[in-house]
A and B are shown apart, each in its own frame.
Chain A
Amino acid sequence: MILRQIWAVYKRELGLYFRSPIAYAVAFALLLLFGLIFSSNVSQLNNRAPADNLNFIPSLLTFLMFLVGPLMTMRLLAEENREGTIELLMTLPMSETAFIVGKFFAVWTYYSVVLGLTLVYYLVLTTIGVPDHGRALGVYLGAWLYGGTVLAVTMIWSAITEDQIVAAFLGAATVLVLYLADLAAQFVNNLSFTENPEFITGLANGIRELGLTAHYNSTMFVGVIRAEDIAYFIFMIIAALFITTRIVETRRWRA
Chain B
Amino acid sequence: MTTNPETPVNPENEPFIPPNILLGLAALGLTVALFVRLTQPQFGVIGWGTLAFTVLALAAWAVLAPEQAREFMRGRALRFGGVSVFVTVLVLAVLVVSYGFIKDRGWRADLTESEEFTLTEDARAAMRVVANDPNVPPMRILAFYGGDQADRRDQDTVLFEDYIEAATSDAGVAKLSYQFVDPDRNPTQVELYGVLPGQLVVVEINPDGTENIENKQVVDPNAAQFGGPDFQTSLTNAILRVGASGDFRAYFLSVQDGLELDDEGDEGLSIIRDSLVDRFGWNVQQLTAVQLSGPQSTVTLNDPAADGEVLIVPGGSEALRDSDLQTIIDYVDAGGNLIIFADLGAENDGESLATAENMGRWLWDAFGVRFSQEVVLDQSLSLQTPIQPASVEFSDSNYITASFGGQDAVVFFAPHALEIADTLPTNVSVTELAFSSDQAYSKTLEELLNEEINPTDSDPTGRFVLALVAENSATGARVVLFGSTNLASNGWAQASSLGVRNIDMAFNAIVWVTGFNDFFVEQIPRVEESFDPQDAPFAATQQEIRNINVLTLLVLPFGVLLIGVLVWWFSRERAQPA
CA distance A197 to B248 in the complex (A): 43
CA distance A132 to B539 in the complex (A): 15
Q: Name which residue of chain A comes closest to B569, CB basis.
A: A21
A36 and B553 within 8 A (CB): yes
A208 and B111 within 8 A (CB): no
CB distance from A174 to the nearest CB of B (A): 16
B171 CB within 8 Å of chain A: no
Q: How many chain B residues touch A (Cβ–Cβ < 8 Å)?
A: 63
CA distance A25 to B568 in the complex (A): 11
A28 and B151 within 8 A (CB): no
Q: Which residues of B contact A19 (CB under 8 A)?
A: 567, 571
Asked, given contacts A124-B551, A246-B79, whether A218 binds B560 with beta carbons under 8 Å apart, the answer is no
A135 and B80 within 8 A (CB): no
B557 and A21 within 8 A (CB): no
Chain A 34-64 interface 0/1 with B at a Cβ cutoff of 8 Å (1 = within): 1110110011011111111010000000000
A218 and B80 within 8 A (CB): no
Q: Which residues of B contact A186 (CB under 8 A)?
A: 147-148, 150
Q: Which chain B residues (523-578) contact chain A, with CB distance < 8 Å?
A: 533-540, 544-545, 548-549, 551-553, 556-558, 560-561, 563-565, 567-568, 571
Asked, given contacts A130-B534, A133-B113, A253-B81, whether A24 binds B560 with beta carbons under 8 Å apart, the answer is yes
Chain A 130-174 interface 0/1 with B at a Cβ cutoff of 8 Å (1 = within): 111111011000000000000000000000000000000000000
B154 CB within 8 Å of chain A: yes
B564 and A28 within 8 A (CB): yes
When the two chains form the complex, which single residue of A131, A231, A249 contacts B534, counting CB atoms closer than 8 Å? A131
Q: Which chain A residues (228-255) contact chain B, with CB distance < 8 Å?
A: 228, 231-232, 235, 238-239, 242-243, 246, 249-250, 252-253
When the two chains form the complex, which single residue of A52, A197, A232 contacts B99, counting CB atoms closer than 8 Å? A232
CB distance from B85 to the nearest CB of A (A): 8
A32 CB within 8 Å of chain B: yes
Q: Which residues of A contact B102 (CB under 8 A)?
A: 227-228, 231
B557 and A128 within 8 A (CB): no
Q: Which chain B residues (50-91) contact chain A, with CB distance < 8 Å?
A: 76, 79-81, 84, 88, 91
Asked, given contacts A131-B534, A186-B148, whether A223 binds B116 with beta carbons under 8 Å apart, the answer is yes
A222 and B150 within 8 A (CB): no
A94 CB within 8 Å of chain B: no
B112 and A222 within 8 A (CB): yes
CA distance A189 to B117 in the complex (A): 27
Q: Which residues of A contact B111 (CB under 8 A)?
A: 134-135, 137-138, 223-225
A225 and B95 within 8 A (CB): no
Q: Which residues of B contact A45 (CB under 8 A)?
A: 537-538
B430 CB within 8 Å of chain A: no
Q: Which residues of B contact A231 (CB under 8 A)?
A: 98-99, 102-103
A222 and B537 within 8 A (CB): no
Q: Which residues of A contact B108 (CB under 8 A)?
A: 224-227
Asked, given contacts A27-B560, A120-B551, A224-B117, whether A132 binds B109 with beta carbons under 8 Å apart, the answer is no
A47 and B537 within 8 A (CB): yes
CA distance A238 to B99 in the complex (A): 12
Chain A interface main SS type: helix
Q: Which residues of A contact B534 (CB under 8 A)?
A: 50-52, 130-132
Asked, given contacts A21-B567, A28-B564, A47-B539, whether A235 binds B553 with beta carbons under 8 Å apart, the answer is no
A224 and B110 within 8 A (CB): yes
B182 CB within 8 Å of chain A: yes
Q: Name which residue of chain A comes closest to B148, CB basis.
A: A186
A24 and B544 within 8 A (CB): no
CB distance from B417 to the nearest CB of A (A): 50
A227 and B105 within 8 A (CB): yes
Q: Name which residue of chain A comes closest to B95, CB basis.
A: A235
A121 CB within 8 Å of chain B: yes
CA distance A183 to B66 in the complex (A): 48
Interface centre among A47, A223, A243 (most CB of B within 10 A): A223
B556 and A35 within 8 A (CB): yes
CA distance A239 to B389 in the complex (A): 74
Interface centre among B111, B158, B184, B533 (most CB of A within 10 A): B111
Asked, given contacts A135-B111, A223-B116, whether A120 binds B556 with beta carbons under 8 Å apart, the answer is yes
A125 CB within 8 Å of chain B: yes
When the two chains form the complex, which single residue of B146, B182, B552 contacts A35, counting CB atoms closer than 8 Å? B552
A-B contact pairs, 18 of them (CB 8 A): A21-B565, A21-B567, A28-B557, A34-B552, A35-B552, A42-B545, A43-B545, A46-B545, A51-B534, A127-B544, A132-B112, A190-B184, A222-B155, A226-B107, A227-B105, A227-B107, A228-B102, A246-B84
Partner-B contacts on A (CB < 8 A): 18-19, 21, 23-25, 27-28, 31-32, 34-36, 38-39, 42-43, 45-52, 54, 117, 120-121, 124-125, 127-135, 137-138, 182, 185-186, 189-190, 197, 201, 204, 208, 214, 217-219, 222-228, 231-232, 235, 238-239, 242-243, 246, 249-250, 252-253
